[in-house]
């Protein structure tokens, strides 16, 4: 809640109906429900005690029972003579929007029965919002359908309990699913993907694993090996250029320009007609060949010659399968 006088008034406008709709609520509970310290609620009540109907003669003032809560967070908070403030203020457009978007996110990937409950909530919230509040135009496409979150929970548990985990992990560059045991170090997020930073027993090195490429995560009943590793710094992005990187020049057609946006490129050069040339590096040259195949013919791998030839060979081998199939239906 915002601070200062506005924050306090906003809280008071909720506090007065809150206390009138409950008969037996402790100061500690009020503070917890409002997300502030009990001392703050006492401060708020001291302001409230000076408020009331116009004229502010004693019979028009809101009454607060301070005795019950003096030095006792378990004391019951009780007010009287405030019937004119019986309901809270309607939801403001920012409040309604934030809640509605959260509900939509919740709805994605929920079972149908929960989706129905959420839909009913959304209709009711529209009623609760201030007049003139336009429903927020927000589209939520969550990256995953929950598997990532499930993995994250398991991994978080393993880190907390100092346990190793076994991963079934898909490596797109090599088109392989590998099984490996790792010492999980930390979960991190970068550019929309969740990663596990871990020491991999198979690779005998520190690796990052994308959670959405984990097919299975299983806790192993063995403590993690000890490593003296400093926390990973992702501020410069995930990709760490290495001396042995393969470097390629790709030509992108206009509608494939997003590649320059999506992957870390070293250089971009306009070729005219919306085409660009980009210099891209990768730890594994097979990744570059695969990228050129996936995006063909909007992307052409131009350099180095040995990778260009590799793309051609790969494409010929693949087309050959269709050729023979056509001749032999």
Partner 1 sequence: MRPPKSERLLNLVILLLVARNYTTKEQIRALMEPYRVSTDEAFDRMFERDKDDLRALGIPLETGFVDKFFEDEQGYRIKRDAFELPSIDFTAEEVAVLGLAARVWRHAGLAAATSDALVKLKAAGLSFDREQLDQVQPTLAAEEPSFEAMWQATVHRTPVRFDYRRAGQREASTRHLEPWGVVTAQGRWYVAGLDTDRGEPRMFRLSRIVSEVTSTGNPGSFTVPEGTDLRALSQTLTPLQPDRTAVVLARAGAANGLRGRAEVLATDVTGPDGSGSWDRLEVPYGSGSDFTGELLGYADAVIVESPPELRASVRDRLAGLLAGAVR
State which of positions 74-113 bind partner 1 (CB under 8 A).
84-99, 101-103, 105-106, 108-110
> Quick one: which segment of 137-145, 203-211, 230-238, 239-247 binds partner 1 (CB under 8 A)?
137-145
CA–CA separation, 200 and 197 (whole Å): 9
Spatial separation of the C-alpha atoms in residues 52 and 66, rounded to whole Å: 17
Nearer to partner 1 among residue 169 and residue 199 (C-beta): 169
Q: Which stretch binds partner 1 (CB under 8 A): 10-18, 155-163, 198-206, 230-238?
A: 10-18
**250 touches partner 1 by CB under 8 A:** no
Q: Which of residues 140-169 bind partner 1 (CB under 8 A)?
A: 140-143, 146, 149-150
Q: Pick the closer one to partner 1 by CB: 13 or 238.
A: 13
Q: Which is nearer to partner 1, 75 or 110 (CB)?
A: 110
Nearer to partner 1, 134 or 242 (CB): 134
Tell me the window of 18-26, 179-187, 226-234, 239-247 that interacts with partner 1 (CB under 8 A).
18-26
Nearer to partner 1, 130 or 222 (CB): 130
Q: What does DSSP say about strands 193-200 and 163-171: parallel, antiparallel, or unpaired?
A: unpaired
Cα 81 to Cα 62, 64, 66, 89, 228, distances in angstroms: 5, 9, 15, 19, 64
Pattern 260-279, binding to partner 1, x per CB under 8 A? xx---x--x-------x-x-
- The residue among 26 and 206 lying less far from partner 1, judged by its C-beta, is 26
Beta strands in 191-316 (DSSP E): 193-200, 205-210, 214-223, 246-252, 265-272, 275-282, 299-303
Q: Which of 193, 206, 207, 281 binds partner 1 (CB under 8 A)?
A: 193
Q: Which two tokens stand for residue 83?
A: 């019937």
Contact between residue 65 and residue 79 where contact means Cβ atoms under 8 Å apart: yes
* Residues near 141 by beta carbon (within 8 Å), at least 6 away in sequence: 108
Beta-carbon contacts of 276 under 8 Å, excluding residues fewer than 6 positions away, are: 251, 252, 257, 260, 268, 269, 270
Binding to partner 1 (CB under 8 A) within 199-218 occurs at: 215
According to CB under 8 A, which residues from 169 to 188 bind partner 1?
170, 172, 175-177
Q: How far is the CB of 223 from partner 1 (least distance, A)?
A: 28
What CA–CA distance (Å, rounded) separates 161 from 159? Answer: 5
Contacts (Cβ under 8 Å, ≥6 apart) of 302:
248, 249, 250, 251, 277, 308
47 lines the binding site for partner 1 (CB under 8 A):
yes
229 binds partner 1 (CB under 8 A): no
Among 27, 31, 38, 52, indicate the residue that binds partner 1 (CB under 8 A). Answer: 52
Binding status of residue 117 toward partner 1 by CB under 8 A: yes
State the minimum distance, in angstroms, from the CB of residue 75 to partner 1: 20
The reply on whether position 120 binds partner 1 by CB under 8 A is: yes
Helix, strand or coil, per DSSP, at residue 129? strand
Reduce the secondary structure of 175-224 to three states and give it as a string. CEEEEEEEEEEEEEEECCEEEEEEEECCCCEEEEEEHHHEEEEEEEEEEC
Count the neighbouring beta carbons within 10 Å of the beta carbon of residue 53.
Answer: 13
Residues 281-300 close enough to bind partner 1 by CB under 8 A? 290, 292-297, 300
- Least distance to partner 1, CB of residue 228, Å: 29
Asked if residues 96 and 78 have their Cβ atoms less than 8 Å apart, the reply is: no
Give the nearer residue to partner 1 in terms of CB position, either 186 or 206: 186
Q: Which is nearer to partner 1, 206 or 208 (CB)?
A: 208
């Amino acid at each position: 809640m915002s601070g200062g006088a506005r924050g306090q008034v906003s809280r008071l406008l909720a506090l007065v109906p809150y206390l009138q709709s409950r008969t037996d609520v402790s100061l500690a509970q009020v503070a917890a429900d409002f997300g502030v310290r009990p001392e703050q609620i006492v401060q708020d009540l001291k302001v409230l005690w000076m408020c009331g109907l116009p004229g502010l003669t004693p019979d028009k003032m809101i009454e607060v029972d301070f005795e019950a809560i003096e030095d006792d967070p378990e004391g019951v908070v009780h007010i009287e003579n405030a019937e004119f403030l019986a309901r809270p203020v309607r939801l403001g457009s920012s409040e309604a929007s934030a809640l509605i978007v959260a509900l939509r996110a919740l709805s994605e990937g929920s079972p149908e029965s929960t989706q129905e409950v959420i839909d009913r909530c959304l209709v009711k919230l529209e009623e609760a919002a201030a007049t003139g509040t336009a429903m927020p135009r927000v589209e939520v496409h969550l990256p995953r359908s929950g598997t990532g979150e499930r993995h994250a929970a398991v991994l978080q548990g393993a880190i907390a309990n100092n346990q190793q985990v076994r991963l079934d992990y898909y490596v797109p560059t090599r088109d392989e699913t590998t099984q490996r045991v790792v010492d999980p170090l930390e979960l991190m997020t970068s550019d929309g993907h969740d990663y596990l930073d871990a020491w991999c027993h198979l690779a005998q090195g520190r690796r990052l694993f994308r959670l959405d490429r984990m097919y299975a995560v299983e806790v192993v009943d063995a403590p993690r090996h000890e490593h003296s590793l400093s926390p990973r710094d992702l501020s410069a992005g995930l990709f760490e250029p290495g001396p042995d990187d393969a470097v390629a020049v790709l030509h992108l057609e206009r509608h494939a320009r997003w590649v320059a946006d999506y992957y870390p490129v070293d250089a971009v050069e306009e070729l005219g007609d919306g085409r660009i040339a980009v210099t891209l590096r990768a730890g594994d040259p097979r990744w570059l060949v695969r990228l050129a195949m996936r995006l063909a013919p909007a992307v052409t791998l131009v350099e180095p010659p040995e990778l260009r030839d590799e793309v051609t060979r790969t494409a010929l081998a693949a087309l050959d399968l269709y050729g023979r199939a056509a001749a032999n239906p």
